[in-house]
Amino acid sequence: MVNGFDHGYTLATHLYSAMNGVTRRGTFRYAGAVEAAFLIDEMDVEIIADGIHLPPPLLQLVYKMKGPDRIALVTDAMRGAGMPEGASILGSLQHGISVIVEDGVAKMPDRSGFAGSVATMDRLVRTMVHHAHIPLIDAVRMATSTPARIMGAKQLGALAEGKRADIVLFDDDIRIKLVMVDGQVLVDNLKTGPME
């Protein structure tokens, strides 16, 4: 990780997922990729904050170690996202692999491991706020401005002059009420009338 960072690697994809932590060889312990991501201050990390890939204590640890300006919430969602639980396919319909969606995550058919996420971004923000007890403003930052910075997407990530008018409004339970893309309303579930 340190060698990679020295050569331009700046993002730990899906922190903890298929990533080694402390290992032991004989009587000695060695730091792994997870610890390197924590120790390299300039390293950004992605987390699948669905509460399953990473349970709340690990979400809290990542937040404590990296802070909202270095964490990007990512869904890593596959086609089963937003669909009822049951059989699904990971990858292309023709060449993908069969998986089962249950308990809020996609699993291998023998249930030996995860096979992808079915989380949506609102679920990630909700998990960070309601289960990991992260301040809402920081959870939203991890879903918006931090990923935009990492991607170099100058038109995204904040409500400001010169940026795209992409807006999501949600209620106190972080349930989507309005979606606007490029200033156009795509979803409007507001029941209270015009906003003041």
Contacts made by residues 52-59, CB under 8 angstroms, sequence distance 24+: 52/103, 52/104, 52/105, 52/114, 53/14, 53/16, 53/17, 53/105, 53/114, 53/117, 54/15, 54/16, 56/127, 56/131, 56/132, 56/133, 58/16, 59/127, 59/128, 59/131, 59/132, 59/134
Active-site option among 41, 69, 76, 138: 76
Please name the amino acid found at residue 39.
L
Closest CA to 104 of 95, 116, 92: 116
Asked if 76 is an active-site residue, the reply is: yes
Please answer whether residues 80 and 118 qualify as being in contact, where contact means their C-beta atoms are separated by less than 8 angstroms. Answer: yes
Residue 55 is classified by DSSP as -
* 3-class state of residue 183 by DSSP: coil
What is the arrangement of strands in the sheet containing 184-188, beginning at the earlier edge strand?
167-170, 176-181, 184-188
Alpha-carbon radius of gyration of the chain: 19
**Residues assigned a catalytic role:** 76
